[in-house]
């Protein structure tokens, strides 16, 4: 997790699954959402 934060600090984009981002959010991460999650509205649970 510390390594991921360091990558973000140097402007390296980080891809995280929606489930991981909902449980342990990383700021400035790009969230991967599948069609089922998108259709059920799970992406609306993300913080803005």
Alpha-carbon distance of 43 to 48, in angstroms, equals 11
Does the CA dihedral 24-26-7-5 come out positive or negative? Answer: negative
Nearest to 7 by CA among 46, 15, 43: 15
pLDDT tens for the 48 residues of the chain, in order:
788 778 777 777 788 999 999 998 888 888 999 999 999 998 888 876
Q: What is the pLDDT of residue 39?
A: 93
Taking a C-beta distance cutoff of 8 angstroms, is the pair 36, 19 a contact? no
Q: What is the pLDDT of residue 2?
A: 80
């Amino acid at each position: 997790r510390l390594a991921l934060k360091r990558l973000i600090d140097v402007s390296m984009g980080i891809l995280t699954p929606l489930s991981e981002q909902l449980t342990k959010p990383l700021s400035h991460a790009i969230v991967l959402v599948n069609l089922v999650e998108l259709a059920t509205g799970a992406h609306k649970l993300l913080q803005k």
